Amino acid sequence: MKKLFLFISLITAMFTTQAQENKAKAPYDEALAKKLGADNYGMKMYVLVILKSGTNTTETKAKTDSLFAGHMANMGKMVEAQKLVIAGPMGKNDKNYRGIFVLNTKSIEEAKQLLESDPAIKAKLLEPELYNWYGSAALAEYLPFHDKIQKSSF
């Protein structure tokens, strides 16, 4: 009798766990997946850009400030064009990495074209390294919420 009770308890627990897992998973939204360019895994290719310190270290502070203001403006344009998904500076490190971008582009060549209009890159204050990167197609969906939590801008 004990073995039967244990067996029934294990089977019940197994089915309960499976039912909870099935409830927790959101239903597949084909229209959203298509809109976001998702593959069967909900993923897609992006271009990861690692921005390093460039070779130009001769600019004055005023000129550097102006170039970085243009850098920030260029980032804003890429966001509006739905090409810039993630951006941010990196902490101090021994590799001279300054920041990252995740670009919603079809190729590294397209990403290079977007970066050509960045004044800090053109002036060689920053040097980009570009890599193909596979991530969730839903990454850009957080962007509309950022404005709701941003108290001030750069």
- Separation between Cα atoms, residue 73 and residue 16, nearest integer Å: 53
Average pLDDT over residues 45-51: 98
* CA-closest candidate to residue 70, choices 144, 123, 127, 111: 123
pTM: 0.79
pLDDT digits (tens, 9 = 90+) for 77-111: 999 999 999 999 999 999 999 999 999 999 999 99
pLDDT digits (tens, 9 = 90+) for 32-43: 999 999 999 999
- Separation between Cα atoms, residue 119 and residue 69, nearest integer Å: 9
* CA-closest candidate to residue 37, choices 73, 1, 82, 67: 82
Tell me: pLDDT of 10 over 50.
no
DSSP code, position 22: H
The SS3 call for residue 21 is helix
Average pLDDT over residues 43-71: 95
Share of the chain above pLDDT 90, in %: 72
With beta carbons less than 8 A apart as the criterion, state whether 49 and 101 touch: yes
Q: Which two tokens stand for residue 64?
A: 């550097």
Tell me: pLDDT of 6 over 90.
no
- Separation between Cα atoms, residue 118 and residue 26, nearest integer Å: 40
The SS3 call for residue 89 is strand
When comparing pLDDT for 36 and 7, which is higher? 36
Q: Which residues pair with 103 in a beta bridge?
A: 47, 84
Tell me: pLDDT of 19 over 60.
no
pLDDT of residue 30: 96
Q: What is the mean pLDDT of the chain?
A: 88
Handedness of CA 131, 98, 127, 140 (dihedral sign): positive
Domains of the chain with CATH codes: 42-136 (3.30.70.1060)
